[in-house]
Amino acid sequence: MAELFKKADIADLLERDIEAFYKLLVKEKRDRNILLILRHLGKLPTNFNASCLLPLLNSENEDIRLLVVKNIGKTKSDLFLDQLYNVSKNDISTLVRREAVSSIGRMRSQKAKAKLITILDDPDPKVILQAIRGLLVFKSDPEIYEKLISMQKHPNEIIQAAIEKELHNVYTSKVDPKIHTNSPDYLKNTIVQGDVREILKRVPSESVHLTFTSPPYYNARDYSIYQSYKEYLEFLANVFKEVHRITKEGRFFLLNTSPVIIPRFSRSHSSIRYPIPFDIHPYLTEMGWEFIDDIVWVKPEASVKNRNGGFLQHRKPLAYKPNSVTELVMVYRKKTDKLIDWNINRYDDETIEASKVLGDYETTNLWSIAPAFDKVHSAVFPLELCYRVIKYYSFKNDLVFDPFGGSGTLGKAAMDLDRYFFLTEIKNEYIESMKKYFSQRKINSIVTPKTMNIGSFDELLRAYNK
Ligand SMILES: C[S@@+](CC[C@H](N)C(=O)[O-])C[C@H]1O[C@@H](n2cnc3c(N)ncnc32)[C@H](O)[C@@H]1O
C-alpha cells in the first residue's frame, strides 16, 4: 500500500482511473498517508473534481488543510470560492487562511475579485497582502485602483510599502541605469578641502557607489561647533541627506558611530551618555535609507579606556561600568524597489569576476579589529576595517566616498583595492597629511590623486561641464 503513495503512482492512478483515486482518498484515514497523497498530487488532470478534497477541510491537521487549499487553488476555478472564502475567514491557522486567499487570487474571476475586496479588512496584515497580490491583476480597473490606493493609509508598514512599490514606483531612479557603474571623472581620486555641506551642493545626484564614514565627535564640553546634541544630530542628518542624494540607486552607506560619554560637570553631577547610533537612525530611515545590518566592531580591551577602577574595588551593584570595546558600523541601502541582483547585474562579467571576495571572509557581524593610531589624526579608521567595507560593498572601479575624510584611510584602502575615492575634509592639517601620502602614490595610479579647495573644485567642474 505504501508504494501507492509514491509520486509516480499517484499521477498514474489519476490518469488511469480517477474514480479509484477518489475512493482511495475517502477510504484513507491515516494523516500520514493523506499528506503523502496530497503532496504528490502534482499537476491535476482537467477532469479532476476537487469536491473530493472538501471533507478534508475539516481535518484537525493543519498541514492537510493547507495542502487541500493549495490543491483546490491549482484548479483556478471559482466553483469552490465560497468554501475557500469560508476558510480564509474562519480557519484557526493563519497559514491556511493565507493560502486560501492565495487560491482565491489564482481564480482571477469577477466573483473572486469581490471576495478579495472584503478580505482587505482582515485583521492579519499577511492575509491582506495576499489579497492585494490577487487584486493587483485588476489594478487597471478604477474601482480596484482606488481600493488599493486607499490601503496606503493602512497602519502596517509592509502593506504601505507594497502599495507604494506596485502603484507608484516611488523608489525608482530617473537616471539611466546604463550609467550605474560609471561615476564622474572629476570626482575620481579627488580630495576637496572645506565644509562637506558646501562641497556636496556641487556634486551631481547619483554619483557615488559607496559611502563609509565616521563623523566628528559630539563634545558637549566644546559648544563652539554644535550648541546642543540636537544641533549635532541635525548637522549629521543634513550631511547624510546629501549623501543619500549623491548615492546611486540601491547602493550602500555604512556609518561608524558609538555612544559617547561626556564626563560629569562636577562631583554633584552624573556623566551623560549619548547613544548616537540609535538617535541618528530614525533620521536616516526617514530620509530614505533602508536599514540593512548592524556590524559590531570589537577592539581588544587593553586598547580602550578603563572604566572599571571603582567597581573593581567596591563591587557594589548599580555602579557597574563595563569597558566599551565595541563601535557600531550600521549598514544602510538607498531605498529602491530593485533587488540586490539588479545592482549586481549592472556590471559586466569581467568586473563581477574581478570583484569577487575570495578566500577567508568575515561570516558574522562581529568584526574583531585592533584600532589604528596616527601621528597627525586622533581618530582614524583601521585600514582593515576599510578593506572589509570596500570589498563587501563595492565593485572594482566604483567610486567610494568619505564626507569626513580625516587622514584619508578610506581613500588609501580604495586605491589598494582598485576603487576610486572622493574625500572631503575641513581641516587643513589633515589635508596636508593626505596630500603627502597620496603624492607618494601618484606614480602607480591610473587617475592621479588631486587635492583642492572649493574654488579649484568649482573650476574643475566648469572645465568638465563645458
Ligand atoms: C572621526 S574623523 C574621521 C577620520 C577618518 N575616518 C580617518 O580614517 O582618518 C572626522 C573628521 O571630520 C572632519 N570634519 C568635521 N566637520 C566637518 C565638515 N563640516 N566638513 C568636512 N569635514 C569635517 C574632522 O576634521 C575630522 O577629521
pLDDT for 9: 82
Same domain, 77 and 183: no
Most confident by average pLDDT, 34-38, 97-101, 225-229:
97-101
pLDDT for 1: 47
Residue 181 lies in a domain: yes
Site residues for ligand 1, CB cut-off 6 Å: 195-196, 214, 216, 377, 379-381, 404, 406-407, 409, 424-427, 430
Q: What is the DSSP letter of 223?
A: T
pLDDT for 58: 94
Same domain, 268 and 145: no
Minimum-distance ligand 1 atom for the alpha carbon of 410? 8
Same domain, 191 and 161: no
d(CA 414, CA 420): 6
Same domain, 163 and 194: no
Residue 64 lies in a domain: yes
pLDDT for 17: 87
Q: Which of 104, 133, 168 is the last residue of a domain?
A: 168
| pLDDT of 45 over the 70 cut | yes
Coil, helix or strand at residue 334: strand
Sign of CA dihedral 414, 418, 424, 430: positive
Confidence of residue 263 (pLDDT cuts 50, 70, 90): confident
The share of the chain scoring above pLDDT 70, in percent, equals: 95
129-133-135-138 Cα dihedral, nearest 10 degrees: 150
What integer is the mean pLDDT of 290-303? 97
User: 214 is in which domain, residue-wise?
Assistant: 177-465
Residue nearest to atom 4 of ligand 1 (CA): 406
Confidence of residue 271 (pLDDT cuts 50, 70, 90): confident
Task: Name the amino acid, one letter, at 175.
Answer: V
Measured in degrees and rounded to the nearest 5, phi and psi for residue 119 equal -70, -15
pLDDT for 441: 79
d(CA 104, CA 203): 51
| Global confidence as pTM | 0.81
Residue nearest to atom 27 of ligand 1 (CA): 406
pLDDT for 4: 55
Residue 176 makes CB contacts below 8 A (sequence gap 6+) with none
Closest to 130 in 3D by CA, of 157, 94, 79: 94
Same domain, 126 and 257: no
Residue 138 lies in a domain: yes
In this predicted model, which residue has the larger pLDDT, 120 or 12? 120
Q: Which three cell numbers stand for residue 213?
A: 564614514
pLDDT tens string 177-211? 678 999 999 999 999 999 999 999 999 999 999 99
Same domain, 392 and 338: yes
Residue 24 lies in a domain: no
Residue 72 lies in a domain: yes
Task: Name the amino acid, one letter, at 60.
Answer: E
Q: Which of 426, 435, 438 to mutate to test the pocket of ligand 1 (most atoms within 8 A of CB)?
A: 426
Confidence of residue 172 (pLDDT cuts 50, 70, 90): low
Same domain, 434 and 291: yes
Same domain, 156 and 230: no
pLDDT for 444: 59
Closest to 165 in 3D by CA, of 187, 180, 148: 148
Minimum-distance ligand 1 atom for the alpha carbon of 386? 8
Q: Which three cell numbers stand for residue 218?
A: 559630539
Same domain, 161 and 201: no
Residue nearest to atom 19 of ligand 1 (CA): 195
Minimum-distance ligand 1 atom for the alpha carbon of 239? 19
Closest to 420 in 3D by CA, of 430, 410, 428: 410
In 125-228, which residue ranges form alpha helices assigned H by DSSP? 125-135, 142-150, 157-163, 196-200
Q: Which of 168, 193, 217 is the last residue of a domain?
A: 168
The CATH number given to whatever domain includes residue 266 is 3.40.50.150
Same domain, 216 and 126: no
Coil, helix or strand at residue 120: coil
pLDDT tens string 204-243? 999 999 999 999 988 755 666 888 999 999 999 999 999 9
Q: Which of 115, 139, 168 is the last residue of a domain?
A: 168
Residue nearest to atom 26 of ligand 1 (CA): 406
Task: Name the amino acid, one letter, at 349.
Answer: D
Residue 379 lies in a domain: yes
Confidence of residue 378 (pLDDT cuts 50, 70, 90): confident
Same domain, 295 and 363: yes
| pLDDT of 316 over the 70 cut | yes
What integer is the mean pLDDT of 101-114? 95
Residue nearest to atom 12 of ligand 1 (CA): 404
Average pLDDT, the chain: 92
Q: How many domains does the chain have?
A: 2
Q: What's the 377 CA to ligand 1 centre distance in angstroms?
A: 10
Residue 215 lies in a domain: yes
pLDDT for 21: 86
d(CA 175, CA 184): 14
